[in-house]
Structure 1
Amino acid sequence: MTIVGYPWRLLAQMALMAYSLRSITITTTTAFRIGSVGRSSSSSSSSSGSGGIAAATSLARRSLANTVAMSYLSNNNNNDHQSRRRGVVVTGMNGSSKWLGSSGRAFFASASSTCPSTLSTTALKSTLEEAASTTTSTTTTTTTTTTAAAPVEHPAYEILSTDMIPEFGAHATLYRHTQSGAQLLSLSTDDDNKCFGITFRTPPSDSTGVPHILEHSVLCGSRKYTTKDPFVQLLQGSLQTFLNAFTYPDRTCYVVASQNTKDFYNLIHVYSDAVFHPRATQDPMVHAQEGWHLELEKMEEPLTYKGVVYNEMKGVYSSPESLLQREAQQSLFPDTTYGVDSGGDPTVIPQLSFEQFAEFHDKFYHPSNARIFFAGEDDVYKRLEIMEEYLRDFDVNPKSSPESMIEWQAKRYMEPVKVRYPYPVSDKGGEEDDGDEEKEGDTHYTMVNWLMNDRPFTPMEEITVTVLDHLLMGTTSSILRKTLMESGLGDSITGGGLSDELLQATFSVGLKGVKPENVDKVEQMILDTLTTVAKNGFEEDDIASSMNTIEFQMREFNTGSFPKGLSLMLGSMSKWIYDRSPTEALKFEEPLAELKARISKDGSAVFQDMIKELLLENTHRTTVEMYPSKTLEEEQLQEEKGRLAKIKESLTEEDLQSVIDKTIELKKLQATEDSPEDRATIPSLELSDLKREVTEYPIAVSENEAQTGITVVRHELGSTSGIVYANLAVDVSGIALEDVTLLPLLTRIMMETGAGEYDSVALSRKIGTHTGGVSVSTLISGVNPDGAPEGVVTTGEYFVTKLLISGKSTSDKTDELFSIFDLILRDAKLDSQAKIIEMLREAKSDKESAVQGSGHAIANARIRSRYSVIGYINEKMSGVSSLDTVKELLEQAKNDFPTLLARLENMRNIILEQSTCRDGMILDLTGDAAVFAKIRPSVENFLTNLPGDSPASERLPNFYAEAHPWAKQAQEEMASSAPLADEGFVVPTQVSYVGKGGRLYDVGEPVSGSSSVVSRFLGTGYMWDNVRVIGGAYGGFCQFQPRDGIFSFLSYRDPNLAGTIDVYDGASAALLSSAKDLENDPDALATAIIGAIGDMDGALSPDQKGSLQFKRWLARESPEQRQKFRDEVLNTKPSDFQEFAERLRALKDPSSAVVSSKAAFEDANKAGKAFTLKEIM
Structure 2
Amino acid sequence: MFDLIKETPMPEYEGTSFHYVHQGTGMEVFHIRNSNQERCCVFMFNTPSEDSKGVAHILEHTVLCGSRRFPVKDPFSQVLLSSPNTFLNAITFTDKTMYPFASPLKKDFDILFDIYSDAVFDPLLRKQSFYQEGIRSFEGKYDGVVFNEMCGGRSTEDSVVQANLTKEMFCGTPYEFDSGGDPYCIPDLTYEEYLERYRKWYSPSNCRLFLFGDLDTSEYLDKLEERYLNNRQKGEKIIPKSENYLQEQLKPMRVKATCPAGDSRSVVLTWLTSCGSDPLEVLTASVLVDILLGNPGAPLYKAIMESGLGEDLNPLSGTDVDSPVLTFSAGFSHAKEGREDDIEAFLIDQIKGYVRDGLPEDAVKAAIKRLEFKIQEIPGDGLPFGIATCLKAARCWLRGQDPELGVANISRLERLKAKVAQGRYFESWMDRYLLQNDRRCLLTVESDDQYDEKFQASLQEKLEMQRAMGLMASEEDRLAYENFVNTPDSPEALATIERITREDLPRSIKSYHNNLHKLATGARLYTYNVFTRGIVYLSLAFDTKGLSESEKRLLPLLVRAMQMCGTKRLDFTQLSTQIKMLTGSFFMYPSAGADRHHKPVSLVVVKAKMLESDLVDAMDLVAELLTDPDFSDFSRLKASLSDMITEFESGYTYSGNSYAVMNASSIFSATAMESEINMGTAQWFYLSALKKDLEEGETTWKSLSASLTKLWSKVFTQRAMKVHVGSEMDEDKLVQIVSIFADKFKVGKFVRTSSYYRNFKNPTAVGSVDRPIVYTVPSGPAFNALAVHFVRTTEKDYVASALLSSVLSSGYLWNTVRGVNGAYGVESHVDGMEDLFVFSTYRDPGVKQSFKAFREALSQELDEDEIEYAIVTIIGREIRPLSPQSKSSEAFRRMLYGMGSGLYLRRRRLLLQMSRSDLEASAAKIAAVMDKDSSVTIVCGSDMAKKLKSLKTIALPV
TM-score range, shorter chain: over 0.9
Where does residue 1124 of structure 1 map in the other structure?
906
Q: Bigger CA drift: 635-644 or 178-187?
A: 635-644
Alignment counterpart, residue 741 of structure 2, candidates 917, 928, 942: 942
Where does residue 415 of structure 1 map in the other structure?
251
**1:348-427 → structure 2 map (5 Å cutoff):** 348-398=185-235, 400-402=236-238, 408-413=244-249, 415-425=251-261
Shift in alpha-carbon separation, 1:1151–1:921, aligned structure 2, 3 A: closer
Higher relative contact order (CA 8 A, sep 6+): 1
Q: How far off is 1:665 after superposition? A: 3.0
Where does residue 764 of structure 1 map in the other structure?
576
Structure 2 unaligned regions, length at least 5: none
Q: Distance in 2 between matches of 1:1098 and 1:889?
A: 43
Q: Distance in 2 between matches of 1:211 and 1:1164?
A: 35
Shift in alpha-carbon separation, 1:1036–1:813, aligned structure 2, 3 A: same
Q: Distance in 1 between matches of 2:219 and 2:730?
A: 39
Q: How far off is 1:1057 after superposition? A: 1.8
**1:167-178 → structure 2 map (5 Å cutoff):** 167-178=12-23
Is the Cα contact below 8 Å between 1:1012 and 1:1129 reproduced in 2?
A: no
Deviations along 1:1025-1049, one digit per CA (max 9) or x if unpaired, are 1111111111122222122221222
Q: Given the alignment of the two structures, is residue 489 of structure 1 paired with residue 288 of structure 2, yes or no?
A: no
Q: Given the alignment of the two structures, is residue 672 of structure 1 paired with residue 487 of structure 2, yes or no?
A: yes
Shift in alpha-carbon separation, 1:768–1:407, aligned structure 2, 3 A: closer
Alignment counterpart, residue 743 of structure 1, candidates 555, 560, 569: 555
Counterpart of 1:749 in 2: which secondary structure? Answer: helix
Q: How far off is 1:1066 after superposition? A: 1.7
Where does residue 645 of structure 2 map in the other structure?
844
Is the Cα contact below 8 Å between 1:1008 and 1:1128 reproduced in 2?
A: no
Deviations along 1:699-733, one digit per CA (max 9) or x if unpaired, are 2122x23x22211111101x100000001212223
Q: Distance in 2 between matches of 1:1144 and 1:709?
A: 44
Q: Given the alignment of the two structures, is residue 529 of structure 1 paired with residue 350 of structure 2, yes or no?
A: yes
Counterpart of 1:538 in 2: which secondary structure? Answer: coil
Is the Cα contact below 8 Å between 2:688 and 2:957 reproduced in 1?
A: no
Alignment counterpart, residue 518 of structure 1, candidates 339, 360, 363: 339
Is the Cα contact below 8 Å between 1:207 and 1:340 reproduced in 2?
A: yes
Q: How far off is 1:955 after superposition? A: 3.6
Q: Distance in 1 between matches of 2:319 and 2:422?
A: 25
Q: Distance in 2 between matches of 1:254 and 1:851?
A: 28
Q: How far off is 1:379 after superposition? A: 2.2
Deviations along 1:878-930, one digit per CA (max 9) or x if unpaired, are 21222221122223445312221221111112124xxxx323211100012x4
Q: Distance in 2 between matches of 1:854 and 1:507?
A: 27
Q: Distance in 1 between matches of 2:278 and 2:72?
A: 47
Counterpart of 1:971 in 2: which secondary structure? Answer: coil
Q: Given the alignment of the two structures, is residue 662 of structure 1 paired with residue 482 of structure 2, yes or no?
A: no
Where does residue 947 of structure 2 map in the other structure?
1163
Is the Cα contact below 8 Å between 1:722 and 1:931 reproduced in 2?
A: no
Shift in alpha-carbon separation, 1:445–1:197, aligned structure 2, 3 A: same
Q: Given the alignment of the two structures, is residue 713 of structure 1 paired with residue 526 of structure 2, yes or no?
A: yes
Shift in alpha-carbon separation, 1:991–1:393, aligned structure 2, 3 A: farther
Is the Cα contact below 8 Å between 1:467 and 1:547 reproduced in 2?
A: yes
Is the Cα contact below 8 Å between 2:801 and 2:837 reproduced in 1?
A: no
Shift in alpha-carbon separation, 1:460–1:1015, aligned structure 2, 3 A: closer
Q: How far off is 1:414 after superposition? A: 5.2
How many equivalent residue pairs? 952
Q: Given the alignment of the two structures, is residue 831 of structure 1 paired with residue 632 of structure 2, yes or no?
A: yes
| Aligned-residue CA RMSD (Å) | 2.2
Task: Among all aligned residue pairs of Structure 1 and Structure 2, give the percentage whose two residues are the same amino acid.
Answer: 27
Q: How far off is 1:515 after superposition? A: 2.4
Where does residue 900 of structure 1 map in the other structure?
704
Q: Distance in 1 between matches of 2:890 and 2:680?
A: 25
Q: Distance in 1 between matches of 2:482 and 2:667?
A: 36
**1:878-889 → structure 2 map (5 Å cutoff):** 878-889=679-690
Q: Distance in 1 between matches of 2:540 and 2:350?
A: 38
Shift in alpha-carbon separation, 1:368–1:646, aligned structure 2, 3 A: closer
Where does residue 729 of structure 1 map in the other structure?
541
Q: How far off is 1:1006 after superposition? A: 5.7
Q: Distance in 2 between matches of 1:779 and 1:1144?
A: 28
Q: Bigger CA drift: 587-596 or 516-525?
A: 587-596
Counterpart of 1:558 in 2: which secondary structure? Answer: coil
Q: Distance in 1 between matches of 2:534 and 2:562?
A: 27
Q: Given the alignment of the two structures, is residue 921 of structure 1 paired with residue 721 of structure 2, yes or no?
A: yes
Q: Bigger CA drift: 1112-1121 or 540-549?
A: 1112-1121
Shift in alpha-carbon separation, 1:179–1:983, aligned structure 2, 3 A: same
**1:1032-1051 → structure 2 map (5 Å cutoff):** 1032-1051=822-841
Q: Given the alignment of the two structures, is residue 1026 of structure 1 paired with residue 863 of structure 2, yes or no?
A: no
Deviations along 1:1004-1027, one digit per CA (max 9) or x if unpaired, are 786242322210110111111111
Q: How far off is 1:1065 after superposition? A: 2.2
Shift in alpha-carbon separation, 1:977–1:169, aligned structure 2, 3 A: farther
**1:584-733 → structure 2 map (5 Å cutoff):** 584-602=405-423, 605-649=424-468, 651=470, 659-702=474-517, 704-705=518-519, 707-717=520-530, 719-733=531-545
Shift in alpha-carbon separation, 1:599–1:649, aligned structure 2, 3 A: closer
Q: Bigger CA drift: 818-827 or 518-527?
A: 518-527
Deviations along 1:956-1010, one digit per CA (max 9) or x if unpaired, are 34xxxxx664312343788788234111112121322222222133577862423
Alignment counterpart, residue 540 of structure 1, candidates 361, 368, 373: 361
Q: What is the identity, as a one-letter code, of the residue corresponding to 1:272?
A: S
Q: How far off is 1:389 after superposition? A: 3.3
**1:1149-1160 → structure 2 map (5 Å cutoff):** 1149-1160=933-944
Alignment counterpart, residue 387 of structure 2, candidates 559, 566, 569: 566
Q: How far off is 1:1122 after superposition? A: 1.2
Alignment counterpart, residue 293 of structure 1, candidates 120, 133, 136: 136
Q: How far off is 1:498 after superposition? A: 1.7
Alignment counterpart, residue 50 of structure 2, candidates 178, 198, 205: 205
Is the Cα contact below 8 Å between 1:799 and 1:964 reproduced in 2?
A: no
Alignment counterpart, residue 872 of structure 2, candidates 1055, 1072, 1090: 1090
Q: Distance in 1 between matches of 2:178 and 2:469?
A: 29
Q: How far off is 1:948 after superposition? A: 2.9
Deviations along 1:86-143, one digit per CA (max 9) or x if unpaired, are xxxxxxxxxxxxxxxxxxxxxxxxxxxxxxxxxxxxxxxxxxxxxxxxxxxxxxxxxx
Shift in alpha-carbon separation, 1:860–1:456, aligned structure 2, 3 A: closer
Where does residue 120 of structure 2 map in the other structure?
275
Is the Cα contact below 8 Å between 1:444 and 1:514 reproduced in 2?
A: yes
Q: What is the identity, as a one-letter code, of the residue corresponding to 1:956?
A: V
Q: How far off is 1:759 after superposition? A: 0.4
Where does residue 153 of structure 1 map in the other structure?
none
Q: Distance in 1 between matches of 2:152 and 2:17?
A: 41
Q: Given the alignment of the two structures, is residue 474 of structure 1 paired with residue 255 of structure 2, yes or no?
A: no
Counterpart of 1:728 in 2: which secondary structure? Answer: strand
Q: Distance in 2 between matches of 1:443 and 1:774?
A: 30
Q: Distance in 2 between matches of 1:535 and 1:547?
A: 22
Is the Cα contact below 8 Å between 2:540 and 2:606 reproduced in 1?
A: yes
Alignment counterpart, residue 713 of structure 2, candidates 900, 904, 909: 909
Q: Distance in 1 between matches of 2:764 and 2:566?
A: 37
Q: How far off is 1:1061 after superposition? A: 1.9
Where does residue 993 of structure 1 map in the other structure?
783
Where does residue 885 of structure 2 map in the other structure?
1103
Deviations along 1:131-168, one digit per CA (max 9) or x if unpaired, are xxxxxxxxxxxxxxxxxxxxxxxxx2111111122222
Q: How far off is 1:1111 after superposition? A: 1.3
Q: How far off is 1:393 after superposition? A: 4.3
Structure 1 unaligned regions, length at least 5: 1-155, 297-302, 427-441, 786-793, 958-962
Shift in alpha-carbon separation, 1:1064–1:326, aligned structure 2, 3 A: same
Q: Distance in 2 between matches of 1:667 and 1:880?
A: 39
Shift in alpha-carbon separation, 1:394–1:1038, aligned structure 2, 3 A: farther
Shift in alpha-carbon separation, 1:1175–1:590, aligned structure 2, 3 A: closer
Where does residue 189 of structure 1 map in the other structure?
34
Shift in alpha-carbon separation, 1:1158–1:458, aligned structure 2, 3 A: closer
Q: Distance in 1 between matches of 2:87 and 2:38?
A: 10
